[in-house]
Amino acid sequence: MTMFVILVGAMLVVALAFPLVPLLRHRQALPGASDADARKLKALNDALSAGVIDDTEYQAKLATLAPAAAVSPGSGGARGSLLVSLLVALLVPAGAIVLYSLNGDPRALDPTRIAASADQDPASGGDAAQPVDMDQAIAGLVAKLEANPDNANGWALLGRAYQATGKFAESRDALKRAYELEPDNNDLTVEYAQALALSGEGRRIAGESRELIERVLKADPGHQRALWLIGISDYQAGDYNAAITAWNQLLPGLPPESDIAKSVREQIADAQRLGGTVAIAEVAAPPTAPAPSSNKETASPAAGPALTVKVSLDPSLSGRLDPAATLFVFARAENGPPMPLAIQRLSAAKLPVTVTLDDSMGMLPSMKLSMFPKVIVGARISRSGNALAQSGDLQVLANGIDVARKQPIDLVIDSVVP
């Protein structure tokens, strides 16, 4: 589980980055320190803020870091054990894991980061060479909180730890304790709302979780994570215009050329493809990127592969078809990340139907059909309208499809997701 969390964290760090932009803007670089040592020092400081360790522990563990990393101008005293510090370092990707689980496919994922993480040599000094017993670390944090149950930061830290290990109910309960101690803390409120959604049925942002996020936005209309999550809630509900409106509000505060802003624009473009009519905020357009360049890619899909897919429903399942359900037709890499390389969303009432999948339908410019020799082509009827497969959905998958194939691909939806 630890290695999984580390890998997923590296894969999805971009998806978490934009809620942390205000923090990143104030981060001080540590000249000469390795990234790993810098993260450990940051973890020590976080443990200090949480009040879960003392000065003696901090001084002992600080001495184990590289000298350059141990110098943090203006940091003041920071204290923590190496175990707790590594735990905190693993918590950074937790928000990204949440977004992936809620939204079904991580639009902000950069496949080049996946390759870099997967190919990392443990001997190079990366975190992968330092296995961490997450359960032991969590147990230590629980013990600290038993002695100091009024520590809101500590409960929040515990909630993130549970979240990083997939214990979503425990994460919800811990973050609820933090929220109850500091009900006016907008950041904690949003974290608790995330945990509620992730631990609930269908992992949807609705009901209490949405109400909490709406309350935060009423108090702080520019709260970045709240804007992101309310957009996801609207997206899940099929209100793509509302989702675009929320995500548009994120863009003015982001550097236009940043990966973060590009990821938000990709999400907006996806919502537009699914029926949203609201235009993307003009402030998000990179000033150095001429408009015709983006149109060129969309207007010339013939430059890359194009798969013709004929989709029908097996007669034995006709009684289970809800005409109001959503039909997803997609292609994903046979050997690669699970997000679609191309996807179309239609009404299930249109079955049987023929669609084309090509490079213009990719989620990322660097993640297209033309970049993979073999793909899995599938079709799924979703009762909830969620791109993430759920029990009871009807689907079919065809493996080993050559992206250069010219003949139509016949897909007959004949199975039920268990």
Residue 93 in domain? yes
Is the Cβ–Cβ distance between 356 and 307 less than 8 Å? yes
For residue 353, the model assigns a pLDDT of 94
- Coil, strand or helix at 217: helix
Contacts of 222 (CB under 8 A, 6+ apart): 249, 253
244 plus 169 within the same structural domain: no
What CA–CA distances, in Å, run from 23 to 10, 17, 19, 238, 276?
A: 19, 10, 9, 32, 32
Q: Which residues of 23-49 are buried (b: 16+ CB within 10 A; e: fewer)?
A: eeeeeeebeebeebbbbbbbbbbbbbe
Question: How many whole angstroms separate alpha carbon 364 and alpha carbon 12?
Answer: 14
Residue ranges making up the domain that contains 326: 300-416
**Both structure tokens of 63:** 């001495």
Q: Are residues 121 and 166 in the same domain?
A: yes
Q: Are strands 306-313 and 409-413 parallel, antiparallel or unpaired?
A: parallel
Q: Show which of 265, 289, 313 is a domain's final residue.
A: 289
- How high is the pLDDT of residue 281? 65
33 beta partners: none
Q: Nearest to residue 274, comparing CAs of 103, 19, 97? A: 103
Separation CA 332–CA 373 (nearest Å): 11
79 located within any domain: yes
User: pLDDT at position 173, please?
Assistant: 95
Q: What is the CATH number of the domain that holds 340?
A: 2.60.40
Whether 337 and 374 map to the same domain: the answer is yes
- Helix, strand, coil shares of the chain, percent, nearest 5, are 55, 15, 35
Q: Please indicate, yes or no, if residue 127 is contained in any of the structural domains.
A: yes
Last residue of a domain, one of 177, 197, 229: 229
Residue 269, in any domain of the structure: yes
CB-based contacts of 123: which residues, under 8 Å, 6+ apart? 129
Q: How many domains does the chain have?
A: 3
Q: Please indicate, yes or no, if residue 295 is contained in any of the structural domains.
A: no
Distance, CA of 399 to CA of 377 (rounded, Å): 7
Q: How far is CA 152 from the centre of its chain?
A: 25
Residue 332 host element (H or E): strand 326-333
Please indicate, yes or no, whether residues 36 and 12 belong to a single structural domain of this protein: yes
Cβ contacts of residue 348 below 8 Å, gap of 6+? 321, 322, 323, 324, 325, 326, 327, 381
What is residue 368's predicted lDDT score, i.e. its pLDDT?
77
Q: What is the mean pLDDT of each run of 10 residues along the chain (418 residues)?
A: 40 38 36 50 60 60 51 37 36 38 34 34 38 70 90 90 83 94 93 90 87 93 88 88 88 76 84 81 43 36 76 93 90 78 87 90 67 92 80 93 94 94
Residue 294 covered by a domain = no
- Quick one: 20 and 64 in the same domain? yes
Asked whether residue 70 falls in the same domain as residue 53, the answer is yes
Same domain for 257 and 394?
no
135 and 202, same domain (yes or no): yes
Q: Please give the pLDDT value at position 54.
A: 60
> Do residue 317 and residue 389 come from a single domain?
yes
CA distances from 351 to 19, 311, 328, 416 (A): 40, 7, 11, 17
Let me know whether 266 and 306 are in one domain: no
Residues 167, 123 within the same domain? yes
Q: Do residues 124 and 33 share a domain? A: yes
Q: Is residue 212 part of a domain?
A: yes
* CATH value at residue 65: 1.25.40.10
207, 229, 251 — which closes off a domain? 229
